[in-house]
Amino acid sequence: MSSIGTGYDLSVTTFSPDGRVFQIEYAAKALDNSGTVVGIKCKDGIVMGVEKLIQSKMMLPGSNRRIHSVHRHSGMAVAGLAADGRQIVARAKSEATNYESTYGEPIPVKELAERVASYVHLCTLYWWLRPFGCGVILGGYDRDGPQLYMVEPSGISYRYFGAAIGKGKQAAKTEIEKLNLSEMTCREGVIEVAKIIYKVHDEAKDKAFELELSWICEESKKEHQKSKALSAIMVNFVCSLVNSERWWYGVCTMDDGKDPEVIVVPSDLLEAAKTAATTALEEMDAD
Amino acid sequence: MDKVDLDSPHSMGTTIIGVTYNGGVVLGADSRTSTGVYVANRASDKITKLTDNVYICRSGSAADSQVLSDYVRYFLHQHTIQLDQPATVKVAANLARLLSYNNKDMLQTGLIVGGWSKHEGGKIFGIPLGGTIIEQPFAIGGSGSSYLYGFFDQAWKDGMTKEEAEALVVKAVSLAIARDGASGGVVRTVTIDKDGPERKFYPGDKLQLWHEEMEPQNSLLDIWGGATAASPEPMRE
């Protein structure tokens, strides 16, 4: 599995004798240190969730977002080096708006995934660039229905019905495989994703984490909607957006078990997700 | 007599029409290409293929519209390969209008893009001179279209059958040909539905006659009387 590529691992433009590019493999290791990111494709849409590990109690809840909207109909959850992730998201947004300006219709998810993968791959071809240290789960809803793609630091991109990256990816994948995704609606999916993230969260190693969720489905009118932890300062801003009925905000912080500050919620959904997840955890602990 | 300028740019005086019906679209056009008052081509084909399921009607400068169509066909072809799916009419129309708008200083084209795609059904987009794009249930263009606005206001209805739509288009082009000097020749139509495109041809002398139009004749002498009737007065000293 992991061997030391002495001498062959100094540059991304060097192959090892057994045909591997070690720098890319090392880049992938950066993902394994990051919080778990999960994405599933349900019957009527996509649900993505991120276990956002909080480094410091002084960080504003809701900052350092890991889930980004790329376009009205698509969103991206990032794992790994956050700054690298920002770059990829910026590129994806740019590709999406560019496509729409030229062709007059929203970019098909498949095309978007290919362009992002192409860009990530580009940075593995030159010695003066380093590979991206982040992986991305891209979910979108277009003419051909909901689609989920994952792009790895090597530039590989595959289409999935369930994907996970980060610390708890193995455990998360096992959990996803247990789900019956073809029958599940996004409403149910949100609860399931929350449960998975709570389950794979390692209490011993990392204490505080924030749960970020997002979905794109029939219910959200095929638009990417996120959950956000908000402070009182942002309330006014939120209210104005809420009136346009495009963003629904909810708060989920898993931090001393304190009750989160709820501004607006696509209801009860986010709360229900948190409750269900916590209950599930308790049930497990009770064994 | 006024001098005839044979070096005028080839312009398609033209009448072009695009109409949606229940299940697809019908595109129609006349066939006259003029250089000033000289008819350079009396049987031109102004309905050009972009893809199997999208066609474009061209009016204005013949050269400009041909080159523009070539570019759009090229971009659409690449787009189809990339997407692995047939392109939609909307995409084709957008590509055409971007070229038209961004080069508005140099181009003079009025276009109608029409076709059928699985997700949208039959669609018609009008792209007049400045490069606007407008989706319409029916569109008319070219110099002959001036005479058709009132006609369509009265005769157009939603949800026509294929036969009704084709008949409407042929009648309209034929009316425009009767009134517009820059339109003439034959009527060509292309009907596009889920089964693909179908071309039809209506010769100019077989079209219905309108008010004060004469039957087509072979010679002026036949009109004035010919061999059997009294010839024109011979000249006398």
How confident is the prediction for chain B on average, in pLDDT?
Answer: 91
Collapsing DSSP to helix, strand or coil, B179 comes out as helix
Interchain pair A105, B82: CB under 8 A: no
Find the mean pLDDT for residues A54-69: 86
Residue type present at position A106: P
Nearest residue in A to B120, CA atom: A143
Residues on chain A touching B95 (C-beta within 8 angstroms): 102-103
Interchain pair A104, B82: CB under 8 A: no
State the sign of the Cα–Cα–Cα–Cα dihedral A107, A110, A112, A114: negative
DSSP annotation of A106 reads P
Residue A268 has pLDDT above 70, yes or no: no
- pLDDT tens sequence across A79-121: 999 899 999 999 999 999 999 999 999 999 999 999 999 999 9
pLDDT of residue A240: 34
Q: Are B190 and B197 in contact (CB under 8 A)?
A: yes
pLDDT of residue A230: 27
Report the alpha-carbon distance of residue B106 to residue A273 in Å, rounded.
60
Residue A56 has pLDDT above 60, yes or no: yes
Find the mean pLDDT for residues A131-153: 94
Cβ neighbors of B201 (< 8 A, separation 6 or more) are: B186, B187, B188, B189
Phi-psi region of A214 (alpha: psi -120 to 50; beta: other; left: phi over 0): beta
pLDDT of residue B236: 75
Report the alpha-carbon distance of residue A78 to residue B171 in Å, rounded.
60
Helix %, strand %, coil % for chain A, to 5?
35, 20, 40
DSSP annotation of A52 reads E
pLDDT of residue A159: 96
From the CA of B85, how many Å to the nearest CA of chain A? 11
Residues present in chain A in total = 287
How confident is the prediction for chain A on average, in pLDDT?
Answer: 81
Q: Are B172 and B27 in contact (CB under 8 A)?
A: no
pLDDT tier at B6 (50, 70, 90 boundaries)? low
| pTM of the full structure | 0.80
Percent of chain B with pLDDT over 70: 91
Minimal Cβ distance to B82: which of A104, A105, A111:
A111
Residue A242 has pLDDT above 60, yes or no: no
pLDDT tier at B67 (50, 70, 90 boundaries)? very high
Interchain pair A105, B91: CB under 8 A: yes
Find the mean pLDDT for residues A203-231: 73
pLDDT of residue A39: 95
Helix (H) or strand (E) holding A166: none
Residue B118 has pLDDT above 90, yes or no: yes
Residue B60 has pLDDT above 90, yes or no: yes
From the CA of A144, how many Å to the nearest CA of chain B? 10
pLDDT of residue A258: 34
Number of Cβ within 10 Å of residue B214's Cβ equals: 7
Nearest residue in B to A113, CA atom: B83
> A80 phi and psi, to 5 degrees?
110, -150
Minimal Cβ distance to A105: which of B90, B98, B133:
B90
Minimal Cβ distance to A103: which of B84, B91, B119:
B91
Bridge pairing between strands A225-226 and B47-51: unpaired
- pLDDT tens sequence across B156-203: 999 999 999 999 999 999 999 999 999 999 999 999 999 999 999 999
Q: Determine which one of B14, B33, B88, B191 is catalytic.
A: B14
Minimal Cβ distance to B88: which of A105, A110, A111:
A105
What's the complex ipTM?
0.80
Cβ neighbors of A79 (< 8 A, separation 6 or more) are: A31, A34, A35, A36, A37, A50, A66, A85, A134, A135, A136, A137, A165, A166
Residue A184 has pLDDT above 80, yes or no: yes
pLDDT of residue B3: 66
Select the residue from B51, B75, B89, B94 to test the A interface by mutation, using most A Cβ atoms within 10 A.
Answer: B94
Find the mean pLDDT for residues B131-149: 95
**Residue A223 vs residues A79, A140, A195: alpha-carbon distances, Å:** 22, 9, 23
pLDDT of residue A222: 79
Q: Are B19 and B26 in contact (CB under 8 A)?
A: yes
**Residue A79 vs residues A84, A85, A168: alpha-carbon distances, Å:** 10, 7, 12
Instruction: Select the more confidently predicted residue: B178 or A62.
Output: B178
Asked if B14 is an active-site residue, the reply is: yes
Nearest residue in B to A144, CA atom: B119
Question: From the DSSP assignment, how many helices (H) and strands (E) are in chain B?
Answer: 5, 13
